[in-house]
Amino acid sequence: MKILIVGANGQVGSAANQVLSENKHNEIFALTHKDLDISNRNDVFNLLTTIAPDVVLNAAAMTNVDLCESQVDEAFSINAFGVRNLAQCCEHLDAHLIHLSTDFVFDGKITRKYSEYDKTNPLSVYALSKLGGDQEALAYSKSTVLRVAWVFGNEKGDFFSWVLDGLNSGSLDSLIDNQISTPTYNFDIAEVLSRCITSRLFGLINVANEGETTRLEMGQILAEKLGIKESLKGITSESLARPAQRPNYSSLSTGLLTELTGIQMRSWQDALDDHIKRIAK
C-alpha cells in the first residue's frame, strides 16, 4: 500500500511514519513542510498525482494556537483550505484520506466526555480553522477524521519535554490546573490510524488515552515517575492571559472507537511510561 504522510516531521506524523514503516507491505512517502505546503493547491495536486498514493495522512497543521489569533489568514489557509486541497485531490485519486481534528473544537461547557456527536463551538481561531478542516475532510466519503486531544510523545517538542526542561533548569514552578482533557500518546494514535487504514474505517472517530487530567497533574506525575522533587503549584489559565482561549473541559470519549475496532485505549499514565522508556533509549 502506498501511504503518503504530509507534516511528517510533527508529533503525529513522525510516530505514524515509524509505525506504518514497520509493515513491509507499506511504501511510505514522508513529506515535511519543506517538501510540500498543503496550502499550495497546485503543488498538492502535482505531487500527489505523481505519487498516486492509496492513502494520504494529513498530519500537517498550524498548531501554534496563540499565533493563529494574530495570523488568521495563515491559520485558515493551512488548517482548513489545505485540507480542502488534500480532500479534493484524494477524491480525484480515489485515495483514503486520514485527517486529525482537535478537542479544541468544543467550548468545554459540559461535564462528561465529548462524543463524536456533541455540538462544536470553537473558542479560538485555531479551533475554528481546524473545524473548517474537519468539514472539508468529512465532505469526502473516503475520509477518516481522528479527533485527538493534548498530544504528547515528541521527545523534543511536547508538553512533557517542556516541563522536564523547566524542572531541570528551575524555571518552572506552576502549571494550569483549571483545564481538563484526555492526554493522547502519538504512538497510540499511530496504531489507531494504522488500523483505520487496514480496516478502511471512514468518518469521525475520537482517539484519546483513558483517564482525564490537568496540566498540573501531568507535570506532577511526570516528576514523580522520574524521581524529581518538585514543588509545582496550580494556576488558572486566565492568569496567563494568553491570546487564544482554550476550553476548560475537552475530554474525549472513545466508546465509538472501541465499538468499531475493539481497541481499548490504555491509560495516559501507562502510555507515559512507554514514552519515558522510549526517550531513555
Phi, psi at 203, each rounded to 5°:
105, -175
Residue with cell 472507537: 257
The Cα-based distances of 247 to 32, 102, 108, 120 in angstroms read 30, 11, 5, 11
Other C-beta atoms lying within 10 Å of the C-beta of residue 256: 16
Nearest 5°: CA angle at 244, between 221 and 189? Answer: 50
Near ligand NAP by CB under 6 A: residue from 17, 19, 56, 63: 63
Name the β-bridge partners of 145: 99, 204
Task: For residue 91, give the C-alpha cell.
Answer: 477524491
Window of 35-43, 198-206, 242-250, 259-267 that interacts with ligand NAP by CB under 6 A? 35-43
Is there binding between residue 150 and ligand NAP (CB under 6 A)?
A: yes
Q: Does 78 bind ligand NAP (CB under 6 A)?
A: yes
Stretch that binds ligand NAP, among 36-44, 116-124, 190-198, 244-252 (CB under 6 A): 36-44
Q: Does 207 bind ligand NAP (CB under 6 A)?
A: no
Say whether residue 5 binds ligand NAP (CB under 6 A).
no
The region of 53-61, 239-247, 252-260, 269-277 touching ligand NAP under the rule CB under 6 A is 53-61
Residues in the chain: 281
Q: Which stretch binds ligand NAP (CB under 6 A): 34-42, 195-203, 206-214, 240-248?
A: 34-42
Q: Which three cell numbers stand for residue 281?
A: 533509549
100 binds ligand NAP, rule: CB under 6 A: yes
Point out the catalytic residue in the list 114, 117, 126, 185: 126
- Kindly state whether residue 9 participates in binding ligand NAP, applying the rule CB under 6 A: yes
Q: Which three cell numbers stand for residue 61?
A: 497543521
* Beta partners for residue 101, in sequence order: 147
DSSP 8-state symbol, 152: E
Active site residue 117: no
Measured N-to-C along each axis, helices 159-169 and 215-226 cross at an angle, to the nearest 10 degrees, of 60
As measured in angstroms, the least distance from the Cβ of 42 to ligand NAP is 14
For ligand NAP, the binding residue among 4, 20, 59, 145 (CB under 6 A) is: 59
Residues making contact with ligand NAP (CB under 6 A): 6-7, 9-13, 33, 36-39, 59-63, 78, 82, 100, 102-103, 130, 148-151
Catalytic residues: 126
